[in-house]
Structure formats: C-alpha cells, structure tokens
A = this chain, B = another copy of it.
Amino acid sequence: MMPRTPLTPEFIASLTSLLGDRFTTSLPVRDHHGRDESIFPAMPPDAVAFARSTEDIVQIVDACRHHGVPIVPYGAGSSLEGHTLAAEGGLCLNVQQMDQIIAIDADDQTATVQPGVTREALNAHLRDTGLFFPVDPGADASLGGMCATRASGTNAVRYGTMRENVVNLTVITADGQTIKTGRRARKSAAGYDLTRLFVGSEGTLGVIAEATVRLYPLPEAIMAAVCAFPDINAAVASVVQIIQLGVPVARCEFVDAVAIRALNAYSNTGLPEVPHLFFEFHGSDAGLREQIELVQSITEDHGAAQFEWASTPEARSKLWKARHTIYFAASQLRPGARSVVTDVCVPISQLAECVWETSQDLQREGIIAPIVGHVGDGNFHVQMLVDADVPAEVAQAEQLNARLVARALAMDGTCTGEHGIGLHKQGFLVDELGSASVEVMRQIKHALDPGNIMNPGKVFAF
C-alpha cells in the first residue's frame, strides 16, 4: 500500500484556512504520528490535523472527501496492530484536543465524552461521584480509540468490553453527516445496532466525535491479591474452574514466569519467578468473603501458594500499575529489541490447552516471550522480543503468531480478543470467519465509504 497522490495545494490551503496552526505538514509531527508500538515500519501521514470540535471533524471529512484524501483517526496512539499508521498516506486526524467531558449523568450512570478523553482522565474526573468507568486496556487509551477498537482489558471479565459499555456514539460518516447511533436508554430495539457496528470498526466507517459510556457504582469493598502457582497448567486450570462456577471476579490476570522475571527486574516486585494470577474482587463485605473463600479453595486445590494481599488502595494501585508495566518491563529483557505482540481469545474450556501448547511452542523456538492475559475471558497475549533488523527473527515470530492463531481458531476461538485486526491480522480474519463473512463487511464498507477515505487499508482490503 502506498500513498495515493500528494496533497494538493488546494487541500492544504483549505485545511490551513480552517484550522490555522492546528493543521501541519511538518516532518517531525508527521513522523510522530506515523509510528506505533507495532513491528510495522513507520508510515507517516502526509499531514496532521488537530480537531477541537465535532464541527472541525465535519469540515475535515468534507475536505478529505472532496480531495480524495485518506483520514486516519488518532487518539492516544496506543494501538498494537498498526491502526494509526497511514498505510495509504493522507491526513492523520488527531482528536487529543477534544478532551472535554460533556456530561456525567450520575443518576443514569452514564458519561458523555469527546473522543480524546482518556480512560484515566475520565476516572480522575469521576473521583468524587462514587462512580467509575471500568474498561481498562492497560495503556491510558483515548475513549474514541477504545470505541474504535472494541477495547477491553483487565475488568472485562466482570464489566464487559466496549461492546457492552458504549451506550451511543456520535459519528461523522464519510459523506460528512453527523449521526447519532442511539439514545441514552439502557436498551433499545429500534433499528439496526449502529452503535455496535461502529464499535470495533477501527475508523474504517467514520470518525467518532462523541461517546456515551456506562459507569458503575464503586464497589462497597475491593480486595486484590497475587497468588503463585507451581506451573502454567495449575494457574490456568484454576481460572477455568472459577469462571465455570460463575464467581464474579472483577479481575483475573495470568502472568507467566518470564513476565514475573521482567517485573521483578523493572519494578522490584520480588515475586517468586513462577506463574501467577493477579486477582481483584468487588462487592459487599459479605459478597467479597464468599468470593475469596471460593477462589482460595480452588487455587489451593491446584497447589497454589497462599494469597498475598494488597489490601490498601495504595498497595492495590501499585499491584495494577505493575501489571500494566509488564509490556515495558518485558521490553527490557532484551535491550534494543522490538515486540511482536499478539492476542487470541478461546472458549474457556480450551484455555488451559491453548496456553500450554503456546508456551511449549515458544520454548521450542527459544524466543523470549512473556505470556500474560485476561484469562477470565479466555484471552491472553504473547509478547515476542525480536531484533527487528534480523528478518529471520521477525519471520520466526510471525510463524509463531500464525501457529498461535491457528491453534485458537481450531478451538473455536478468535484471532484477536481485544487488539483488533489493523494491518496485521487481515488474513487471520478470513481464516476465522470465512471469505463470505468478510465480504459482508466489505459490502458495508463500500456502501458507507465508497471513496475509501476512512482509515483505508485496515481490517480488510477495500
């Protein structure tokens, strides 16, 4: 994929007149927006626009459509699958300055935000309301980006993913219309579910200008703990049993021995270098006691060590901060290496086998690659550290990735639980759903964006 045509002076003039210095073709700014955490080479856009309002987006989309310029929406830039790379050049539409929290409806437990609001900013704003927004993909992602990639994370096992937690969206379509995908009622049977169509569409159907999301009452009590296991199977089998018994754990994270080693080196956590589960429990005092007793008895049956509690808010926050730094901590295991990150999700009955076979495969190949995951959902990640300058290493990692996806698909799982398709997994999407299903997606894309200006080159070939 290549940039289509250079930006015309007319396009540049129209965007400059619209946005002033919030439109730029400066090389450093373009470069900054053309890189991400993925293994892909940099793909800088031809220009970058900083929107401040829905009306800005409408005008930018109109200009881009008129001039046939691709639009790549950009939130926090934390995608792992190349979503924000300008695969066909064009304009990067940065929404970071659209960072207003428009409304908190405490009685209805909803928040309406601009797309550049990050999940941490939203939760900081909610601090005194007794409410919180649960979806937590690790990175301090923007809400717009989280909607676009159907993000999830550590809390999804209890609170669901963005699929369940977006109430409605305001979207600018390719033809410049501003549409509302739903109202603020908790449920609706009114027409096609446009909200869910745009959630996970990765910017290919329109630009998200506003989102209303669900909030939840802060639980009466919260407890968190880590628990060490003799081996991978013991840890994963415990999770499977916890989920099958319907224990409403709020977080249930698997962290393998390699990841623990990375954490210890990076965060000085001093944990035994064996597989762990990190838990969080939400509920009333009595409910918490019940959950914890049940989970402890299950983990003990699988030979786990005693729980190490993080009972104060500070200790809890330190624990989850450590969990979220694994990605960066792991990168330090091999200085200078790049990460090939992948994630799959399988039915819970297949999880133990899938994780085990994957760990064996990684060991055979001798690649440093921590396995961590939101295992309560059947979802786990592999972060393979490679020397990006050695093609054989990159190829080896891609082969491991392909085998992992094939393994997950053979178990009726998905090629990505939460990272999305982006540039990386387009072939796997066809393997997963078949070409007829992808053709239906393509028909929708052609209908809604006939000029292919919305994040072209992502999810599937136009």
Q: A345-B187, A409-B183, A437-B180 are in contact. Are A217 and B246 (CB under 8 A)?
A: yes
Closest to A420 in B: B189
Residue of B nearest to A217 (CB): B246
- Interchain CB contact under 8 A, A187 and B379: yes
Q: Is the CB of A192 within 8 A of B200?
A: yes
> What are 22 A-B pairs at a CB distance below 8 A?
A105-B347, A107-B347, A108-B347, A149-B189, A150-B189, A177-B439, A179-B440, A181-B433, A183-B409, A185-B346, A186-B379, A188-B345, A189-B418, A189-B420, A191-B437, A193-B196, A194-B440, A196-B196, A440-B448, A443-B448, A444-B444, A444-B448
In the assembled complex, the CB of A101 is this many whole angstroms from the nearest CB of chain B, namely: 17
| Closest-CB distance, A118 to chain B (whole angstroms) | 19
Is A404 part of the binding interface, using a Cβ–Cβ cutoff of 8 Å? no
Q: Which residue of B lies closest to A345 (CB)?
A: B185
Protomer copies: 2
Query: What's the nearest-Cβ distance from chain B to residue A450, in Å?
Result: 10
Distance of A444 Cα from B345 Cα, bound (Å): 29
A400 CB-CB contact with B under 8 Å = no
A22 interface residue, CB < 8 Å from B? no
Which of A257-265, A282-290, A298-306 lies at the binding interface? A282-290
Q: A189-B200, A290-B286, A417-B188 are in contact. Are A441 and B183 (CB under 8 A)?
A: no
- Which residues of chain A (309-368) have a CB below 8 Å from chain B? 345-349
Residue of chain B at shortest CB distance from A240: B107
Question: Could you tell me if A191 and B433 are in contact, using CB atoms closer than 8 angstroms?
Answer: yes
Are A193 and B199 interface neighbours, CB within 8 A? yes
Which one of B107, B240, B415, B433 contacts A180 once the chains associate, using CB atoms below 8 Å? B433
Asked whether, in the complex, the Cβ of A185 is within 8 Å of the Cβ of B347, the reply is: yes
The CA-CA distance from A161 to B197 in the complex, in Å, is 17
Decide if A347 touches B179 in the complex (CB within 8 Å).
no
CB-CB under 8 A from A188, the residues of chain B are 150, 345, 414, 416-417
User: Closest B-chain residue to A446, C-beta based?
Assistant: B447
Is A201 an interface residue when CB atoms closer than 8 A count as contact?
yes
Please report the C-alpha to C-alpha distance between residue A412 and residue B189 in the assembled complex, in whole angstroms.
15
Q: Which residues of chain B are within 8 angstroms of A438 by Cβ–Cβ distance?
A: 191
Does A47 reach chain B (CB closer than 8 Å)?
no
- Are A194 and B286 in contact, with the CB atoms below 8 A? no
Say whether B416 contacts A189, CB under 8 Å: yes
A184 adjacent to chain B (CB < 8 Å): yes
A256-274 residues at the B interface, CB under 8 angstroms: none
Interface residue A276 (Cβ < 8 Å from any Cβ of B) = no
Complex alpha-carbon distance, A295 and B180, angstroms: 36
Known: A107-B349, A191-B200, A193-B200. A186 touches B290 (CB 8 A): no
The smallest C-beta distance from A174 to any residue of chain B, in angstroms, reads 10
Residues on the B chain within 8 Å of A240, using CB: 107
Taking CB atoms and an 8 Å cut-off, the chain A residues in 136-165 that contact chain B are: 149-152, 156, 160-161, 163-164
Q: Which of B180, B246, B429, B446 contacts A216 (CB 8 A)?
A: B246
The winner among A182, A185, A348 for most chain B CB atoms within 10 A is: A185
